[in-house]
């Protein structure tokens, strides 16, 4: 009974995932914009370039910090620091004179998850289709889009195939297709063990 329930649940999960794949194939926008979800704690599932990405973050990202630096020439630099980045804007008498964007790799924290995820996306087509990286605040797992479907459908598929295959093998060996009793020399046409007609 438990085995049948497991088969039904895995079959439904495989069908549901197949529906998701169809929706993705029809045309949902995938891409870097969805990385904004990485700022939230918990599991996040992303789709990017024929790849499913499972992202786990233990806690929410801290809000970006701002720092104001005044220079001797009268210009003011505003520094915005957040997980994995540092942006600076310099203004002189209200007019912007310089702007810079930079990515940093902190020793730990959510910024490292951002950097690892962006690296995984950058090398997606140049490495093996499977990618995993663990960082202090979580992990990034990348697999081909078809892989979860194969995993979900593997056990139900073997369960559906195993029955007909087992009956075929027993019939070829002269055994009862139901219980496997040896019917060699049996001319009654009925299995003496279980009563199945042969």
d(Cα 54, Cα 132) in Å, to the nearest integer? Answer: 10
Rg value, the chain, Cα: 29
Place of tokens 């949902």: 28
**84 burial class (0-12, 13-18, 19+ CB within 10 angstroms)?**
buried
pLDDT at 154: 87
pLDDT over 50 at 129, yes or no: yes
98-112, 148-162, 168-182: least confidently modelled range: 98-112
Per-residue pLDDT, averaged over 95-99, amounts to 81
Instruction: Report whether 80 contacts 64 (CB < 8 A).
Output: yes
Rounded Cα–Cα distance for residues 37 and 43 (Å): 10
Beta-bridge partners for 138: 57, 135
Query: Which among 16, 18, 36 has a CA at the least distance from the CA of 26?
Result: 18
Predicted local confidence at residue 170, as pLDDT: 85
pLDDT of 96 strictly over 60: yes
**Inter-helix orientation angle 2-27/147-172, to 10°:** 130
- Which pLDDT value is given to residue 166? 85
pLDDT band at 31 (very low <50, low <70, confident <90, very high): very low
Res 27: pLDDT? 58
CA distance 121 to 155: 31
For 8-25, write each residue's pLDDT tens digit. Answer: 888 888 888 888 777 666
CA distance 60 to 137: 10
Contacts with 103 (C-beta within 8 Å, 6 or more apart), sequence order = 84, 85, 86, 115, 118
Pick from 28-37, 64-73, 126-135 the range whose average pLDDT is largest.
64-73
Which pTM value belongs to this model?
A: 0.53
Most confident of 45-54, 112-121, 163-172: 163-172
Residue 34 has pLDDT above 50, yes or no: no
Best-predicted range by mean pLDDT (23-27, 30-34, 119-123, 165-169): 165-169
- Give the Cα separation of 129 and 48 in Å (integer): 12
Cα separation, 66 vs 168, in Å, equals: 73
Residue 181: pLDDT band (50, 70, 90) is confident
């Amino acid at each position: 009974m438990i085995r049948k329930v497991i088969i039904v649940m895995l079959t439904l999960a495989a069908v549901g995932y197949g529906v998701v794949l169809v929706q993705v194939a029809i045309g949902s926008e995938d891409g870097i914009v969805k990385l904004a979800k990485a700022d939230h704690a918990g599991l996040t599932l992303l789709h990017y370039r024929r790849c499913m990405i499972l992202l786990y973050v233990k806690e929410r990202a801290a809000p970006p910090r701002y720092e104001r630096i005044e220079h001797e020439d009268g210009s003011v630099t505003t520094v915005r620091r957040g997980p994995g980045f540092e942006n600076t804007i310099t203004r002189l008498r209200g007019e912007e004179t310089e702007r810079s964007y930079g990515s940093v790799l902190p020793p730990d924290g959510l910024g490292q998850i951002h950097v690892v995820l962006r690296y995984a996306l950058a090398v997606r087509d140049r490495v093996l289709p499977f990618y995993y990286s663990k960082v202090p605040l979580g992990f990034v797992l990348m697999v081909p889009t078809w892989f979860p479907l194969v995993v979900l459908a593997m056990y139900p598929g073997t369960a559906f195939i195993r029955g007909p295959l087992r009956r075929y093998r027993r019939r070829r060996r002269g055994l009862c297709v139901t219980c496997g009793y040896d019917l060699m020399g049996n001319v009654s046409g009925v299995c003496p063990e279980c009563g199945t007609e042969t």
